[in-house]
Amino acid sequence: MPRPGASRSGGTGDPAGPASQPGVTRRRLLGTAGATGLALGAVGTAAGYAAAGSGDPDTAPLTSVGAETAVFHGKHQPGILDPMQSRGHLMAFDLAPGAGRKEAAALLRRWSATAERLMAGESSASDTGVALDAGPSALTVTFGLGHSFFARTGLEKQRPVALDPLPDFSSDRLDKARSDGDLWVQIGANDGLVAFHALRALQKEAGSAARPRWEMTGFNRSPGATARPMTARNLMGQVDGTRNPKPSDPDFQQRIFVPDEPSGTGTAEVPGGGSPRWMAGGSYAVVRRIRMLLDPWEKLSVTEQEAVMGRHRSDGSPLTGGGETTEPDLEKLGPDGTLVIPIDAHARISRPDQNGGAAMLRRPFSYHDGSDGKGAPDAGLLFICWQADPVRGFVPVQRKLDRGDALSPFVRHEASGLFAVPGGAERGGYVGQALLEG
């Protein structure tokens, strides 16, 4: 299976040698004809990397981690359905003073071209060489548009109702400087250098059109670190992600993605009108930087921690028994006559059946930014969730959590963003084209 973009042309003007020449991958990709493309979500393993086995570092086989390739073009943008990567960067940009629709379109075209090249393991226009020697490493780049983007570009009439600001929650402690933004970029890769390389390329290509607003760096477990593929753990030690909606669920598409023919115009003139047509195949990302108060959390006994969550710490199984994926028995009483899964346990009150069916796809990164200056770790979750409409996903669940989640005393929401993430770019096109040229 040829890797997307592997034979595309486009000069780089970079002096870094063959790896930066048009159509040449960073590792001079060898014959892709025999590639098997081992499907893992949208990520595949480019078996075409397998080489003659000489000692030549440019032709030696890559490990499976380096060879994994995600697909840039498609109905949905990458970085939503792909397996979570071990490294992540989140960045928000604001359009520069004087930059409008034309500049935004040119920027998204540049960014999309670069994302396509880098995801295929090719070099970027002003390659720094940071990712030389490495394969694409399951790199994904995802672009989103914030509420303020639409006024800046004169496209208010196209702004989806679904992008209306999130309500205030009583437990919010939000830093506005690290919240929101005109444009949002999510980068994920299974190699820290590959992810950083993409970050620098996109930052430089913002040029005079957009200025960085905030940046966050996150991580997850490395592929292969466990004996078998397992659900992720967060920095509280919990198995996190067990009950995520699955693509095989009958209602998965309608819960997570805007349909091909959105029901309404999605404009403010049509309340509840859903999403506009340019969002077909797109999704809405809610991004929350949630600090974990790890010192008090780690003082709890394991039994106390498990009561907060309603699940066992060891394997994520419900307190009512069974394995990780066993359905919890929410009515079960213990010998003392109280509920085995406490009434305020996080895993109880966040369920769709406790929130009018509200559901979201959670795809977070952990983060650690040193300490807060008083000795407590500044660590937690870069919570990212995906849904077709935040009013039927994140908002009702967070309202419920805000009212009485047993986890609340141990977490603090410190930054927030809501972004419209358009559908995937067509070949030769760019993300957001239907909006900006529609």
Q: Which residues are catalytic?
A: 240
**C-alpha span between 109 and 88 (Å, rounded):** 22
Give yes or no for residue 222 binding ligand L6N33NVT (CB under 6 A). Answer: no
Return the DSSP state at 301. Answer: -
Q: Around Cβ 54, how many Cβ atoms within 10 Å? A: 9
Q: What secondary structure letter does DSSP report for 398?
A: H
| CB of residue 233 to ligand L6N33NVT, shortest distance in Å | 9
- Rounded to 5, what percent of the chain is helix, strand, coil? 25, 20, 55
Only segment of 92-100, 174-182, 236-244, 267-275 that touches ligand L6N33NVT (CB under 6 A): 236-244
Compute and round to an integer the Cα radius of gyration of the chain: 22
Give the separation between CA 249 and CA 255, rounded to whole angstroms.
10
Considering only the stretches 72-80, 148-156, 255-263, 309-317, report the one whose residues sit in contact with ligand L6N33NVT under the rule CB under 6 A: 309-317
401 binds ligand L6N33NVT (CB under 6 A): yes
Q: Is 394 in the site for ligand L6N33NVT (CB under 6 A)?
A: yes
Stretches 25-33, 58-66, 266-274, 286-294: which one binds ligand L6N33NVT (CB under 6 A)?
286-294
Q: Pick the closer one to ligand L6N33NVT by CB: 61 or 241.
A: 241
For residue 291, give the 3-state DSSP assignment. Answer: strand
Whether residue 266 contacts residue 160, with contact meaning beta carbons closer than 8 Å, is answered with yes
Q: Is 381 in the site for ligand L6N33NVT (CB under 6 A)?
A: yes
Instruction: Identify residue 16 by its one-letter amino acid code.
Output: A
- Among 20, 114, 217, 398, interactor with ligand L6N33NVT by CB under 6 A: 398
Say if CB 139 and CB 189 are below 8 A apart. Answer: yes
Q: Looking at 3, 89, 243, 255, which residue binds ligand L6N33NVT (CB under 6 A)?
A: 243
Q: Which member of 27, 117, 213, 351 binds ligand L6N33NVT (CB under 6 A)?
A: 351
Alpha carbons 421 and 394: distance in angstroms, whole number = 15
Which residues are at the interface with ligand L6N33NVT (CB under 6 A)?
234, 236, 238, 240-243, 288, 290, 292, 309, 311, 316, 346-347, 350-352, 360, 380-381, 383, 394, 397-398, 401, 411
